[in-house]
Amino acid sequence: MPLSAHHTQPCALQDAFATQMQAFCANAPIARLGLAVSGGGDSMALLRLAHAWASQHNITLHIATVDHGLRAQSAQEAAMVAQCAARLGLSHQTLVWRGWDRRGNLQDRARQARKHLLSRWAQAQGLDAIALGHTRDDQAETLLMRLARGSGVEGLAAMPARDVAHGTTWLRPLLDLGRAQLRDYLRALAEDWVDDPSNLDPGFDRVKARQALALLAPLGLDMDRLAQTAHRMRAAAHSLEFLTNTQAAQILRVEYGDYIFDAPALDALPQDTRTRLVARALQAISGNPYRPRLDTLTAALDSAARITLHGCLLARSKGQLRITREYTAVAHLRAPLGSTWDGRWHVLPPTPLPETAPLLHIAALGPAGADQCRPRDGWRLPYASLLASPAIWQDKTLVAAPLALPDCGWQAKTRDLWPRAQLS
């Protein structure tokens, strides 16, 4: 249960933190734990709480700060975290991102970059998990922001206390604690933190949500109530996730990377389940972590024509809805042998490797390659699907096409990337 008193004694917060961490450890033992620490109040409290807990349980802590380089003070803030870590006898590393090209959503780009940088750091350090400083305030603010965007059940669901993404386990041990409590804790320890000026910039949606919370509190829509609602939405999302996966097992099959639905059975489902299933298939094929817009997806499913959506092609025929990769979405992709192509394909060469292997690369078969794959009797997929399938090329010369010429000695395999929601 949340600790509601703002002036909670340090030992009470440490006990609450220890209880949450022990719950994490019950699922999977933790010997080496990473902490993402920006220098703000939430993450500095995470650092001090984790240090107190780890000292008692023989856990090795590693600290990382992501410097996005978006403010002049960012390097100084990373140095402050490094000094605190050194004072506590902990290792620290600053991870630098300079990828902002002034296009798109800055906060989303920075968030994605932060996750990728931290994941690579965790793998290099051999960490069991990374702990993040999200709080109960973050839960409430996120719910308001997503409510304003018209999000569905999953969008309104609370952040998971534990999830896995980018090959890394992420922990959020502060979700039942409030921002004010954590700052009181730091004051009691005489520990400094940095207030990011962007947290006061009304141009950001999160700041607007924070300001709105103060206005909604007299109506009973305070931080605790909204966080409670988010947890209830997560419980509902669990039920929908179970239903979605149950239906997928009954009406969906995967054929050489294509997702094929029994169209009459799909159309008979409630609209929410129907759109949820197809959205998952689109995510699995395209590798896009986000679902398509609901109105666009609904219109595509109601159309009898071939539709391109989310980097995929949707086509109905013979009682089936086939979803395949769209050729134009992968026409530019190149990958060396031994690497993953289009985020999901692995090409296995014959044994022994041809002498020309260093000169070969993986790219889409495309129309030029398909024209060289005759006769069509051995094609494992329809023409539109084969265009976006992996092939082996030497410069502009086709060497092999595993899904069009299955006897070529090469194999193309794709992992099951059905994006089951992380609802742990």
Low-confidence ranges of the chain (pLDDT < 50): 1-7, 421-424
End-to-end Cα distance, the chain: 18
Vertex 78 angle, CA 76 and 82, to 5°: 115
Q: How many CB atoms lie within 10 A of CB 208?
A: 16
The phi, psi pair for 315, rounded to 5°, reads: -140, 135
3-class secondary structure, 414: strand
Report the alpha-carbon distance of residue 121 to residue 67 in Å, rounded: 14
Report the alpha-carbon distance of residue 106 to residue 99 in Å, rounded: 10
CATH H superfamily, domain 10-230: HUPs (3.40.50.620)
Report the alpha-carbon distance of residue 384 to residue 367 in Å, rounded: 9
Helix (H) or strand (E) holding 109, with range, is helix 106-125
Q: How many CB atoms lie within 10 A of CB 250?
A: 8
Judge whether 422 and 163 are in contact, CB under 8 Å: yes
Q: Dump strand ranges (E) for 103-198.
A: 129-131, 162-165, 168-171
The predicted structure's pLDDT at residue 4: 45
**pLDDT digit string, tens, across residues 169-222:** 999 999 999 999 999 999 999 999 998 766 666 667 777 887 787 788 888 888
Report the alpha-carbon distance of residue 249 to residue 205 in Å, rounded: 39
Report the alpha-carbon distance of residue 279 to residue 247 in Å, rounded: 14
Report the alpha-carbon distance of residue 288 to residue 312 in Å, rounded: 11
DSSP 341: B
Please, is 220 exposed, middle or buried when counting C-beta atoms within 10 Å of its C-beta (0-12, 13-18, 19+)? exposed
Q: What sign does the dihedral 95-96-100-106 (CA atoms) show?
A: positive
Report the alpha-carbon distance of residue 233 to residue 228 in Å, rounded: 9
Find tokens 């909604």 and name the residue.
216
Going from N- to C-terminal start, the domains of the chain cover 10-230, 256-325, 329-414
Same fold, 10-230 and 256-325: no
Among 119, 54, 43, 129, smallest CA distance to 80 is for 43
Structure tokens at 134: 């999200």
Judge whether 231 and 158 are in contact, CB under 8 Å: yes
Report the alpha-carbon distance of residue 115 to residue 132 in Å, rounded: 11
* Amino acid at site 8: T
In sequence order, the 6+-apart residues with CB closer than 8 A to the CB of 352 are none
Q: How many CB atoms lie within 10 A of CB 46?
A: 28
**pLDDT digit string, tens, across residues 352-368:** 888 888 899 999 999 99
Find tokens 């004051």 and name the residue.
187
What crossing angle do the helices spanning 223-251 and 136-148 adopt, rounded to 10°? 60
B/e letters for 224-240, b = 16+ CB within 10 Å, e = fewer, are bebbbbbeebbeebeeb
The predicted structure's pLDDT at residue 5: 43
Judge whether 260 and 385 are in contact, CB under 8 Å: no
256-325: CATH topology: 3.30.465
